Amino acid sequence: MDLLASEKMHRVIQESVPGKQITLAHVIASPVPEIYESLGIDYKGAIGILTLTPYETSMIAADMGSKAADVNIGFLDRFTGSVVLCGDVQSVKTSLETIVEQFKNTLGFSVCSVTKS
């Protein structure tokens, strides 16, 4: 006997479809040393943090950001959409602003403003 038919149960299938968005674009101008250590970064300048969906676009953002200004890719995770860029404050800021602008205008993403602390 079919269990669904006998108990009048309904089967629901859910799937997650992330939007195209940058949800965080932040520059930390002077991070505390523990942040570098926790991330395993051997750099002592500013840090730029990005969070993107779909997650795979983190690779595009890292490439774009490293070409836009003199920054290094400190961390990239294509499974969570996280990117950390390192460099001097102005380079990191320029890099994040370029990424946000290009993702918005070229790729049609919803984006946040670049913030700084």
| Tokens 């595009």 belong to residue | 60
Distance in angstroms (rounded) separating the CA atoms of residues 42 and 26: 20
Distance in angstroms (rounded) separating the CA atoms of residues 27 and 46: 7
pLDDT at 13: 65
Q: What is the pLDDT of residues 4-40, one digit of tens each?
A: 556 677 776 655 456 899 999 999 999 999 998 898 8
**pTM of the full predicted structure?**
0.81
CATH class of the domain defined by 21-116: alpha beta
In the chain, domain spans: 21-116
Distance in angstroms (rounded) separating the CA atoms of residues 74 and 44: 11
CA dihedral 60, 62, 64, 65 (to 10 degrees): 160
pLDDT at 9: 72
Please report which confidence band the pLDDT of residue 42 belongs to, taking 50, 70 and 90 as the band edges: confident
pLDDT at 8: 73
Q: What is the pLDDT of residues 44-78, one digit of tens each?
A: 799 999 999 999 999 999 999 999 999 999 999 99
